Structure 1
C-alpha cells in the first residue's frame, strides 16, 4: 500500500502477512533475526531522510538493509521495530572517463561484474554475489583481490549519507574526512548510505583469472594442509577458499578447495605447482574472465549459498599464520560432529586464504578497519533445522571449541574478527580494535548520540 502524500509515489509501506513485507524483510539467515511491525521501502534519498526523522522523533527502533545478507546475533536485539528496505535505491552510474562507479545500496555485488568487465574495468569484491556492494563495503570489504588492490573500502571515493538527525550529507576525504575514516570499517554505526562512489581499476591481462579446484579425501587432507602451510605467504595474485564438508552422497568428510589466480594460466600454474604436485582429485582447471570468477566457484554453488531464509549460525575469526596441525585437528572434530549429528551435515568449516600485500600497504590508520595484517578468515557455518535442539547445542559447543583451537595458532594473541563476520558475542576490542575504539566512540557521540544505529555490533558513545 502507498502511504500519504508526504512520500514519493513509489515509496510504499507493508505489514506482516503480505508478500511485500516478506520481500522487504526476508534474510539470508533466520538465526537471531530482527522482527518488525512494519516495513517501508523508500524510493528516494529524501524519503530515507524523512523516515529517519519520523522514527527518531517517535522513538521507533529501526534497521536499514538492502541485500539482508549480513550476520550478527546483535541484529536480534531489534524486536517489533521498523524495517527500512533500501532495495529500491538501485541507481548505477559508470563514469569511464573518471574511472568511477556510483551505486545505490540496492545494487548487489554480482550486478556490477558484467558492466565493469564490458567497460574494461574491475574492482575488489567479496566472495558472494548476493550481498549489497555498499553493505559489504561498510565493514571494510575483504576478498580475493585484497592482495592486489586492498579492501573494497580502500576503493571508496565518497558516499551520500542520511545521518541520525535526518540530514543528507556527502562524505569523503574532503567533506567530513573524520566521518569518512569511520564509515570505512564501522559504517553501520553512523547513518544510512544512499549511494557510494568507487575508484575502478583498468583491466590487467585482459581480465583473465585462472581457477583450479580439487576434492581432497580425509586421507589426503593432512598432506594438503601441510603443503598449504608451506606456501605462505601466498603471492598477491593467488587466493583460496577451503571447505571442510560432509559429502552428501557418501557422508564421508572431505576438503573442497578453490584457488584463483589473478592473471594468465602459465603464471597460475607456476604459483600452484606445490598443489598440483599432490595426488588429489581435480574437479576444475580453467581460465575465466574476472566477471565470471565468483559465479564459477565450486561449480556454481554460490546460487545455493545465496538462498534466503535458511537457519545459519556463524563463528568466525581472523588469522595471519597458517597452522596445518590445527587444521588436521579441526578436520577430525568436524568428522566426529558429522557422524554423531547427521542433522548438521550441511554445516561447513570455511577457510578464506586471502593475501594482504595491498591491504597492508595502506597506513594502519588509513581507515577504521583494524586488521590489515590478516591473511585469512575462518567461518564455521552451522546449518541445521531450528527444531533440532540437540544438534543446535552440539553445534554451538563445537563452534566455540573450534574458535578457541584455531585462534590459538592464528598468529594473533587473542580472538580478532572481521566485523561483517562477527558472531556477536565478541568483545568490542576484538571486533574494532582497542586502538580504534576511542576515535570511533567520539564519532558515535558526534553523529549518533542517541545510538539509533546500534543493532549491528554497535559502538558506544564513550570508550573506555
Structure 2
C-alpha cells in the first residue's frame, strides 16, 4: 500500500550528501546551511528559506492531519513567480523531493511518501486582482478561499470557491472543487480561464482553455505542477441574503431524515440551484450526552427564512431542536461549522483521515446501517469521539451543464459527497490507526453497497490514499490513458507524486 523501504532509502540517499532529518531544536548540520545559502541566493529579497532549527519552521510545516504527514527538512517560501521557478529547478537539480503547501488540509496518507524533502509554501503569494471589465479575477497561488470570497464580495462580485474558509483556493480547484454556488456556475475548476503553472522541469507555462494540460489541471492538477496564479470567471452578486435552518435529530430518525432529503431536496439530481443541504453525524453533548446525533442544515439563497416547502417535511419528522438564521453568503461557513474559528479549521494535533464516496441519492437503509456502526464505534466514550460523518448536498445543475469530457474531474453525474472523518490522537500503538482505517473503510463500504454499483467514486481532495487512480479520476480507459500520456509528457520522473498520484507501483496499490 505504501512506498517500499527500498524507495524510502533511495529518497533519502538522493537528498543532499550528508544531510539527514533532524528533530526541531537539534544543531543544524553544515550541509543544511549550505543548502539554505545556495537556494537563498537564487531567490528574491522577500523570499525565505527556513531550516528545522529556525523560528517559524513548525508553523510553516504544520498540517491539519498528523496521520503519515510528509517529513520536511527545509521550507522555501517564494514571494514572486520566479521564486517558484528557481525552487523547483533547485529541487530537481539536487534530487530533493518537494511538496507544495497551501492550506495543508490534504490528509491523504500518500503524503507520507515524501521523506526528507522540501516544503514549497505559497503563503506569500496571496492576491486577488479584478480585471478592468469586472468579468474575471486573477488569484495568487497561495490565496485562501476566505480571502477570495471577502475580496470579491467587497467589489460586489463572487465566484465558486471551496466551502471551508481555512482551505486554499488552489487545493480544491485542482481536484475539481465543490462550493455553494456550483448549482449556478459549476465546479471551482470550471471557472478557470487560464493559469500560470511551474512544471516539473522548472518551466513557467501559461495555460489557456485550449492547452492540452489544462484538461488535467481541472481534477488531477496536484500531479502536474505548481500553480502560481489563475484567472477565473467572476459574477455579480445576485442575492445578498441567505437563510439557514439547523435541525438536530436523534439517531432513530436517520431513515426518515434521508428519505425526506431525497424527496424534497436531492430530487434525483434536480435540487434547486438556490438550495443546499448539509449534515453531520457527530457527538453533541448539549443535545444528547450519550449518543451521536444528526445535525442537518438546509441553506437557501435570496431569502431571510428557509421556505417551508423545504423545511416542513423535516419539522414533521420531529427534530429535537430547530435553529433558524438569516444573513449573507459570508455566513454560510460559520453556520455549517467550517469557518476559520470552527473546530475543523484548527490544527489540534489529531489525525483526521477521510474516506470519501459520491452518491446519486441517499439509501435510507444504508444510512441506518452506517449510523448504527458509527454510533457504536465513535460514540462519546470512544477514542474516535471527535469523529464526524459529513454529507454535502449541493445543487448540481451548473456542474452537469459542463461537458464531462472537458476536464479530468470525472464524477459530474453524482449528487452527494459523503465522507466519514475519523479523528483521533495519533498513538504510539499502531493498532488504533488500524482500527481507524477499518472503521472508515467499513462506513464507506456500507454506503457503496447501498448504491448498488460496484465502482467507488471518490473525491480526490478528501482521499484517504488507498483509493485506486480509477476510483479517484474515473475508470474510463480513455481518461486513464489521457492522464498517463500527459504525465509522461510533462512529469516523466514523477516529481509531483505525493498527493494521490495517477500512477502507482502495482505492488503498493491497494483497493478500498
TM-score bin, normalised by smaller chain: over 0.9
Match of 2:492 among 449, 455, 461: 449
- Equivalent residue in structure 2 for 1:181, among 215, 218, 239: 215
What residue number does 2:467 align with? 426
SS of the residue corresponding to residue 409 of structure 1 reads helix
| Unmatched tracts of structure 2, length 5 or more | 1-32, 507-512
Describe the shift of the 1:300–1:69 C-alpha distance in structure 2 as closer, same or farther (beyond 3 A). closer
1:171 corresponding residue in structure 2: 207
Task: Describe the superposition over 1:145-178 as per-residue Cα deviations: whole angstroms up to 9, x where unpaired.
Answer: 222221000111111111111111111114xx11
Q: Where does residue 137 of structure 1 map in the other structure?
A: 173
Q: Which of 239, 242, 245 is matched with 1:212 structurally?
A: 245
More displaced 10-residue stretch of structure 1: 95-104 or 441-450: 95-104
Tell whether 2:237 aligns with 1:203.
Answer: yes
Pairing partner for 1:398 from 423, 431, 439: 439
**Kindly tell me: are residues 251 and 19 of structure 1, through their superposed partners in 2, closer, same or farther at Cα, counting changes over 3 Å?**
farther
Q: How far apart, in 1, do the equivalents of 2:458 and 2:252 lie? A: 31
Q: Where do residues 319-338 of structure 1 align in structure 2 (5 Å cutoff)?
A: 319-338=359-378
Displacement after TM superposition at 1:123 (Å): 1.5
Q: Is 337-346 or 67-76 further displaced after alignment?
A: 337-346
Taking a change above 3 Å as real, the CA distance of residues 285 and 121 of structure 1, as seen in their structure-2 partners, is: same
Matches within 5 A, 1:298-309: 298=337, 303-308=342-347, 309=349
Deviates more, 1:106-115 or 1:448-457: 106-115
**Which deviates more from structure 2 when the two are superposed, residues 51-60 or residues 309-318?**
309-318
* 1:257-287, Cα deviation, whole Å (9 max, x unpaired): 1221122246733333322333213442122
Change (3 A) 1:461 1:96: farther
Alpha-carbon distance in structure 1 between the residues aligned to 2:198 and 2:340: 36
Q: Which residue of 1 aligns with 2:255?
A: 222
Query: What's the offset of the Cα at 1:221?
Result: 3.0
Identify the match of residue 455 of structure 2 among 407, 414, 419.
414
Return 5+ residue gaps in structure 1 as ranges: none
After TM superposition, give the deviation of residue 390 of structure 1 in Å.
5.1
Cα 1:165–1:393, aligned 2, differ >3 Å: closer, same or farther?
closer
Give the TM-score normalised by structure 1: 0.93
SS at match of 2:215: helix
Distance 2:338 2:159 in 1: 23
CA contact (8 A) 2:66 2:426 kept: no
**How does 1:359-374 map onto structure 2 within 5 Å?**
359-374=399-414
Quote the RMSD (CA, aligned, Å): 2.2
Aligned residues: 460
Cα distance in structure 2, aligned partners of 1:34 and 1:52: 17
Distance 2:253 2:216 in 1: 45
SS of 1:19 mapped into structure 2: coil
Counterpart position of 1:273: 312
Cα drift, residue 63 of structure 1: 0.6
| Contact 2:98–2:120 (Cα < 8 Å) also in 1 | yes
1:243, distance to aligned residue in structure 2 (A): 0.8
Normalised to the residue count of structure 2, the TM-score between the two structures is 0.85
Instruction: Tell me what 1:346 maps to.
Output: 386
Is residue 2:502 matched to residue 1:459? yes
Partners of 1:361 and 1:194 lie apart in 2 by 28
